[in-house]
Amino acid sequence: MEYLYITCIGLLIFFSFSLLTKKNKPLSEKIFSFWIVLLVVTVVSFLLYYQGLSREYPLFITLICDSHLLHGAILYLYLLAFTNPAFTLQRKHLWHLAPMMVLVSGKLFLNYGVGQMQCYKEGGCVEDENIFVILTYFYKYLVLGGYILASWKIVRNYRENATAPRDRMRSEWARQIILGVTFLYAGILIIQAGRFLLPDLFWERMLLGNILATLFIFIFLYLGNSYAYLFVTPSKKRFMNLSESFDPANCKQQEIRTELEQIFARLETAMNTHAPYLKPQLTLQDLSEQLEGIPTALISQSVNRFAGCNFNEYVNGYRVAKLKSLLRDPSNWNFKIMALAADAGFSSKSSLIRIFRKHTGITPGEFLQKAQDETDLEPGNAAVLQ
C-alpha cells in the first residue's frame, strides 16, 4: 500500500511539473495546477497516516483533512474558468474559503476551547462516538455535495451549448471530471455509512477512504493523459491557412467554419463582458490567453470572416462605440475629449481622430457638438480636444 501512495505522489508531481512550467497558461489551467499541488499534499498525508506517523504530525494531518473542502471550491472555480473564457477571479470568490475557515475555527474551539475533540492531538478525527466529530463530517459532506451539484449544473449547461468539435471534446473532459468526483463522493459516503451498518467490514474507514481517493487520483491522471491535447497550445503553423482551398462539398471545411463561428461568439462575449479593448496596447496574444489559449491565428481568422475586418479595426470599433457613449453623456462634457478617449482605450490624439473619422465620418469634436445640439444644451462647457 505504501508503494501505491508513493507512485501516486510521483505521478502527480510529474503532471504538476508539466503544467506549472507551461507558459501563457489560461486561468483554468492555473486553477488546475493549484488543484494538482493540493492533491500532492493530500496524498502525502495519506502516506503519513498509513505509516502510523499521524501522531507525530497531528496538526498537518488534521489541517489537510480540513482542506478537503477546498477540493469542492477548486472544482467549481476550475469548471467556471474552463467553460467560460471571460471568467476572472474576483474578491468575491474569496468567500469560497469560508466553509473551510468555519470548519477549522469550530474544530479549534472544540479541541482547545472546550476540550470536546482530540483531532489536533490524534492526527485526525478518529473518535467515532463523538457527536461533534460526526457533525463535522456531516458538515463536510454537505458542503462538498453542494459544490458537486453546482459543478454538474455548469457542465450540463456547457454541454448543451457545445456545438463545435473542440467544444464538444472540452465538454467531455469536464463531464469525465465531475463524473469521477461524484463516484468518489458516493464511495466515501458508503464507507461512512458502512461503519454504522457493517462495522466489522468498515472498521478502518479512514484507511479505506484514503485508498479510494488515491485510486480516484490514478483514474484522474489517466483521464488527464487521455485528454492531454486540451492542455497543449496548438502550433500556430497548423492554423495559418485554414481558409485556403475552401471546398463547400468538403465536410471538414464546414467543421472549420463552425469552429471559427464558435470562437467568434466567445470573443464577442469576452469583449462585451470584460471590455479588454480598454487596454490601449491590446494584442491577439492577450485575447488568446483570455480565450483559454485559442491560437491567435484562429482568432484573427474568425474576426476576418465574421466581422469583415482585421483585428485592429475590430478592436477600434469597440473603442469608437465606447467613446461615442461617453461623449453623449452630459455628465462628461466638462472633461477633455482626449481624457475620455483614454478611458475608451485610445492612446494618442492622432490615431483617435483618424480612427474616429473612419468609423463615423466626423471628428470627435464634431460628434460632441452634434450631441450637445441634439440635447438643446448650451455648449459653454464643451470639452476641448487637447
Where are the domains positioned within the chain? 2-231, 236-308, 317-381
Q: What tens digit of pLDDT does each residue of 45-54 get? A: 777 766 766 6
The pLDDT assigned to 1 comes to 62
At 356, the pLDDT band (50, 70, 90 cuts) reads very high
CB 296 within 8 A of CB 311: no
Of residues 207 and 386, the one with the higher pLDDT is 207
Q: What average pLDDT score do residues 245-271 get?
A: 68
Query: In the CATH scheme, what is the code of domain 2-231?
Result: 1.20.1070
Of residues 128 and 313, the one with the higher pLDDT is 313
At 302, the pLDDT band (50, 70, 90 cuts) reads confident
277, with CB counted inside 10 A (0-12, 13-18, 19+), is: buried
Q: What tens digit of pLDDT does each residue of 2-24 get? A: 766 677 777 777 777 776 776 77
At 185, the pLDDT band (50, 70, 90 cuts) reads confident
Task: Count CB-CB contacts under 10 A for residue 295.
Answer: 20
Percent of the chain topping pLDDT 90? 13
Q: What average pLDDT score do residues 190-202 get?
A: 64
Of residues 104 and 161, the one with the higher pLDDT is 104
Residues whose CB falls within 8 Å of the CB of residue 114, separated by 6 or more in sequence, listed in order: none
